[in-house]
Amino acid sequence: MTGETLIEASHISVSRGSVTVLKDVSFALHKGEIVTIVGPNGSGKSTMVRALIGALPASAGKIIRLPGLRIGYVPQRLHIERTLPMSVRRFFDLPKRIDASALSDVINKVHVEHLLERQMIDLSGGQFQRVLLARALLGNPQVLVLDEATQGLDQRGSAEFYQQVEAVRNELGCAVLMVSHELHVVMSASDRVICLNGHICCEGAPDVVSSQPEYRALFGTDTRGALALYRHEHDHSHSHDHDHDHDHDLGHGHGDSARSPSQDSNSDAAG
């Protein structure tokens, strides 16, 4: 996890309209690591990743990206016009035609070959997300950014998707920045989990509790270890003056029955 720094944000603030959505956020993403950002709706997760990739300006602070950094970005929302026929193959060729060998490389990696002639609007949720992942990989990214990539997928679908992402990371060596609003279930392969609520509340390694019977009861046994409970403590107070709801109960106590004291390893990074 001590790879080259790909993106580094120092004390950034980001405003949307008149509201400061992110305040004093510092973050670095290194080669090959998987980082998951969790936080309740409206906590600034999408804003943060968009600022990191340069799609939104920071109103304060500084963001440094490795020169020429290749980023594959799957946005949270992608609207496909239902009345417009578009096959998966055509979708891959937008906005510009993709080289055939690059395409065959990626479709083999992400197993979407059988979907190429299907219509985008006919894909199941899991197939759709897989196609978006494949498209993001077409540019051979050094950083893969997935904003709520498992939205609409059931537990098994999420687990499979996470396994796919981990395999891609292992093969390409790219860094992965994931966003999830599921506060208690994250990809177990995450090297770090960042809890965001307008600022970084805390960060740490996800607790892997898959050996516990309570975990298995909650999450089943067929996720092949792709999901883990993440537990963190908010033992700091919020004295800053910006405008967020801080309902930190949202971040507490998940998976209580499945954790053991020895797994309480997350540290508080801000306060």
**Residues between 73 and 132 that touch Mg ion (CB under 5 A):** 76
Q: What CA dihedral angle connects 271, 235, 5 and 68, to 10 degrees?
A: -70
Maximum separation of any 2 CA atoms in the chain, in Å: 55
- Which one of Mg ion, ligand ATP, none interacts with residue 163, CB within 5 to 8 A by kind? none
Where are any strands of DSSP class E within 117-246?
143-147, 175-180, 185-187, 192-196, 200-204, 227-229
Question: According to the binding rule CB under 6 A, does residue 41 interact with ligand ATP?
Answer: yes
Establish whether the linkage from the previous residue to 95 is cis, with ω within 30° of 0.
Answer: yes
The binder of ligand ATP chosen from 6, 7, 12, 21 (CB under 6 A): 21
Total residues in contact with ligand ATP, by rule CB under 6 A: 13
Q: What element of type H or E holds 162?
A: helix 155-172
Question: According to the binding rule CB under 6 A, does residue 32 interact with ligand ATP?
Answer: no
Sketch the per residue contact string, 140 through 179, with ligand ATP: x for CB under 6 A, - otherwise: ----------------------------------------
Sketch the per residue contact string, 58 through 77, with ligand ATP: x for CB under 6 A, - otherwise: ------------------x-
- Which one of Mg ion, ligand ATP, none interacts with residue 42, CB within 5 to 8 A by kind? ligand ATP
The arrangement of strands across the sheet holding 200-204 comes to 71-74, 143-147, 175-180, 34-38, 192-196, 200-204
Question: According to the binding rule CB under 6 A, does residue 181 interact with ligand ATP?
Answer: yes
Question: According to the binding rule CB under 6 A, does residue 180 interact with ligand ATP?
Answer: no
Alpha helix segments (H runs only) across 35-121 = 45-52, 88-92, 100-110
CA atoms of 5 and 175, how far apart (whole Å): 10
224, amino acid identity: R
The binder of ligand ATP chosen from 45, 135, 192, 232 (CB under 6 A): 45
Question: According to the binding rule CB under 5 A, does residue 46 interact with Mg ion?
Answer: yes
Please state the closest distance from residue 269 (CB atom) to Mg ion, in A.
Answer: 21
Question: According to the binding rule CB under 5 A, does residue 180 interact with Mg ion?
Answer: no
43, amino acid identity: S
16-24, 84-92, 126-134, 213-221 -> range binding ligand ATP (CB under 6 A):
16-24
Please state the closest distance from residue 87 (CB atom) to Mg ion, in A.
Answer: 28
3-state secondary structure 115-151: HCCCEHHHCCHHHHHHHHHHHHHCCCCCEEEEECCCC
Binding site for Mg ion (CB under 5 A): 45-46, 76
Binding site for ligand ATP (CB under 6 A): 16-17, 21, 39, 41-47, 76, 181
